[in-house]
Amino acid sequence: MLYVVILFLFAAITLYFLLGGADFGAGIIELFTSNDNKHRTRKTSYQAIGPIWEANHMWLIITVVILFVGFPTIYSEMCVYLHIPLLIMLLGITARGTAFAFRNYDAIKDEKTQGFYNHIFVYSSFVTPMFLGIIAGSALSGQIDPSAKTFAGAYIFSWLNWFSVSVGLFTVALCGFLAAIYLIGECTEVYDIKRFIKKAKAMNIAAVVLGALVFLASHFEHVHLADWIFGNLLSLAAVIAATLSLVLLWFIISDKKNKQWIRVLAAFQVSMILISVGHTRFPRFVIFKDGSSMSLLTDHATGKSIDDLGIGLLVGSLFILPALGYLYYSFKKKGNEAIEEH
């Protein structure tokens, strides 16, 4: 049952990245859109995420619950040493979620308040995935130091280092990339399609550059990322698959018939990156400065809690997955007609 729980944990993280991450990306794209086109981008992204955005963010809740029920020591150690980035991420989630809802449900759509919501929305869309990336980077960076004597040593440098920050920026670029790719399929006008293809390419280049930065930073911070990934068959294969899918993506991106395929390829590419990184250190989940680590295979809750959690997740997914599938089907495939709300 432990493996079922671990599988759900990784699945929830991946789905959060692919779906929630793309939601963040929609805000990132909006941030990097010229003022003339902002309105068009906003409309397209609303079409895309309006009905499903609440559901996309539930994967984070599932992730947290799995962590604190199944792996309570890992959860509480992360909460102690990564308190500050977690707090900033939470502020981002709050600001973004409410700004998105408020701008749609404000009964009076005057420019001043709408402009205010938009501002909050785009900046928090940038900050939140950045800090999610920082948290993930910090768990692997080996900078968390439970024996630190100073406040900064224990609670600041655990996450404020070149490696974590570059992982944060890389995450932002990936989210933007995913969103741009997803949005291409939502557009009806050629003008917008061209715009989002351009954005997708720009975000992709940014992701590659920032990915290189992650490797560079890992070198300076003595994180042996290159050894981890290239010295491990599955991780290496995943990275190669990601690269190949990217090449293919660039070839077919302008072809209108391949709307669904480019989405699948982009999602595949990002999942491969996650699998590669996740697998290289598995079962280690958090690595400390002294080289010790917390492992998913040893630092888990005892027998019955894990079993019940596994059963709960399996039964829960019987309800969630079909409903979620039908939600996507109803609003994605079925209707290219505009989503009208009353």
Residues that bind another protein (CB under 8 A): 50-52, 54-55, 57-58, 60-62, 64-66, 68-70, 72-73, 75-80, 83, 86-87, 90-91, 93-94, 97-98, 100-102, 104-108, 151, 154-155, 301-306, 308-309, 312-313, 315-316, 319-320, 323-324, 327, 330-331, 335, 339-342
CA distance linking residue 307 with residue 3, whole number of Å: 10
Nearer to another protein, 188 or 330 (CB): 330
Phi, psi (rounded to 5 degrees) for 33: -105, 140
- Minimal distance in Å, beta carbon 309 to another protein? 6
Residues 6+ apart with CB under 8 A from 278: 10, 13
H-helix or E-strand spanning residue 127: helix 111-141
Nearer to another protein, 46 or 177 (CB): 46
Angle at the Cα of 137 from the Cα atoms of 208 and 234, rounded to 5 degrees: 65
CA distance linking residue 181 with residue 28, whole number of Å: 13
Confirm if 23 and 57 have CB atoms less than 8 A apart: yes
Nearer to another protein, 115 or 231 (CB): 115
CA distance linking residue 56 with residue 182, whole number of Å: 14
Residue 315, CB-side half-sphere exposure with 13 Å CA sphere: 6
- Minimal distance in Å, beta carbon 298 to another protein? 14
Could you identify the residue written with the tokens 């309570």? 72
Nearer to another protein, 101 or 205 (CB): 101
- Minimal distance in Å, beta carbon 320 to another protein? 5
Confirm if 102 and 94 have CB atoms less than 8 A apart: no
- Minimal distance in Å, beta carbon 335 to another protein? 7
- Minimal distance in Å, beta carbon 162 to another protein? 23
Nearer to another protein, 32 or 102 (CB): 102
Nearer to another protein, 61 or 209 (CB): 61
- Minimal distance in Å, beta carbon 122 to another protein? 17
Q: Residue 222, SS3?
A: coil
Nearer to another protein, 283 or 312 (CB): 312
**Count of CB atoms within 10 A of residue 222's CB?**
10
- Minimal distance in Å, beta carbon 192 to another protein? 21
**Count of CB atoms within 10 A of residue 9's CB?**
20
CA distance linking residue 13 with residue 178, whole number of Å: 15
